[in-house]
Amino acid sequence: MDQDEILLDAEERMEKAVDHLSSSLKGIRTGRANPGLIDSVKVDYYGSPTPLKQIANVSVPEPQQIVIRPFDTSCLGEIAKAIQNSDLGMAPNNDGRVIRLNVPPLSTERRQQLAGRVKELAEEARVSIRNIRRDANKHADQAEKDKTMSEDDRDTTKDKIQDLTKKFEGIVNTQASNKEKEVMDD
């Protein structure tokens, strides 16, 4: 691998780690309703686990309510069952056409638990980014051993990899602190 390939691969993998963190943070509850809360819910739709968003329209008409309007009303029962079996902690209200989820306010203890979970997810992302840095540095060392890269190029590559690491860790820290504030605010 040459310098550009190593840097491009590292940057792509770090972006994926940040994207994964972003999608994980969307599923963490705050005091407000958010369609991202039900992204992880899978419904047994005609025998196959299907993401809820693929079989229903999800909207937030009020700050404390999520409305799920299925494309096929015959699956309302399955959607309600999937929500009850998930770890959302919300009871679905089925009126025969739509399902309403009332988002209860969070207790202080629950907010602290969720803030702790945000910190865990952020740390997982940082560890992932550091592992990517380690792999990229190994590729640079190997390229220097294989005589496809000079010592100076290897050192420059490692410096650029470190810059990428700092950049993406900064993004992770920003996302985590924003989500933590969102969780802790009433």
pLDDT of residue 118: 94
Contact 78, 43 (CB under 8 A): yes
Alpha-carbon distances, residue 179 vs 64, 122, 163 (angstroms) = 18, 10, 25
| pTM of the entire predicted model | 0.76
Amino acid at 35: P
pLDDT of residue 24: 87
d(CA 149, CA 151): 7
Q: DSSP character for 31?
A: S
| Residue 38 CA to its chain's centroid (Å) | 13
pLDDT of residue 90: 81
Q: Could you report the average pLDDT of every consecutive run of 10 residues in the chain (186 residues)?
A: 92 96 84 81 90 91 91 90 84 90 85 92 97 96 93 95 97 95 81
Domains defined along the chain, listed by start? 3-26+107-184 (1.10.132.20), 35-102 (3.30.1360.40)
Amino acid at 87: D
- Spatial CA neighbour of 160 closest among 7, 17, 16, 8: 7
d(CA 39, CA 60): 14
pLDDT of residue 134: 97
Angle 115-100-85 from CA coordinates, rounded to 5°: 60
pLDDT of residue 186: 57
pLDDT of residue 20: 94
End-to-end CA distance of the chain: give it in Å, rounded. Answer: 51
Amino acid at 43: V
Q: Find the DSSP H helices in 36-149.
A: 52-55, 76-85, 108-145
